[in-house]
Structure formats: structure tokens, C-alpha cells
Structure 1
């Protein structure tokens, strides 16, 4: 389930990934983007639960970075900048900013 908190489960374990921006809910297609990113991570990681966790953390972190740089947070500007940030984001960015339990 995706939203302010993304909930990931394998049917037994549960992880929550938190994102600190409301812009995902305003940007049509954010859920589709996250699904695509999860699919990409699953293609290269045998542990699907881990892949989904990391993918959600990367996506949330990218969104938070974009939102923090926007003077005026507008949904129409958020989408293109999110795509750019997903290209630029580093492991260090995710390790520093990702929030999950």
C-alpha cells in the first residue's frame, strides 16, 4: 500500500517506508512510477521483499530531495524533477535520508 507511508509486506514481515512530502499524492502516476521501480529492483534481487523495501526507500528519498529544493511545491513541476532525481540519486543519498522501520 502506498501513500504518506508505504507499507510493504511479504505476508509475514511488514516494513513501513516514510516519505516527507505530500507531492506524491498530487502527482498523477506516482504509484505507477513506484511499481515500475519495484519491478526493476525485483529483476536484479532474488529477495523480492528486500527489493521492494529498497525501491520504496529510493523513491521516497528522491521525492523528498526534490520537494526540499522547490521554492513553491507544485505537482506539475514535481514529476519531471522526480525523474531527474531518480537518475541522479546515490546510495549515500538513500542511506542518509531514507526513513523506515
Structure 2
């Protein structure tokens, strides 16, 4: 997260990704797949408060698709990873961010 003093938050996100990858390898022998989703800026109650209007506009301008995701837009990727369509996926971190990491 550019420009934000939140190393603790960023480290926790990285920790979740690596926990998912480690569990994927530990549990693969039991037929359990473990994957994660890294969402981009998403319109949630945390960042749609009135005092966040300026920051929200900045999030939108920094995202190539020029908007924040809707919460329900994370459902499709989650359903894919949980479905048989992703039966050969384990240890995957699916980035759903409107192109943000392309920059």
C-alpha cells in the first residue's frame, strides 16, 4: 500500500498469503486445496465513510479500471477457487485488483 504508514498491515497480508501456500503443501496429501485471494481496493464500510471521500478518489485514480471493486465482485473468484473448475489449483494467490499490480 503506497504512501501509507502501515507496515504491520502489509506484513499481515503477506503472512496470510504464505500461510495459505504452506498449508497447501501440508494438506495436499489429504486432498485439501488451500488458496487465497488478494483483493484490490474494495468498497467496504471501512473505506466508504464520509471522511474517506478524498482517499477513495485516490484509490480509484490509482486503479487502472478507475473504480473500487464491489464486495460481491469477490464472490466469483472465491467460488472459482472452491469449485471443481480449480481442482488443479492449490497454493494460488488470486489477485483481483482491477489491474493495480500491473503498474
Q: Given the two structures, how large is their TM-score scaled by the length of structure 1?
A: 0.32
Larger radius of gyration: 2
Q: Given the two structures, how large is their TM-score scaled by the length of structure 2?
A: 0.32
Q: Which has the higher helix share?
A: 1
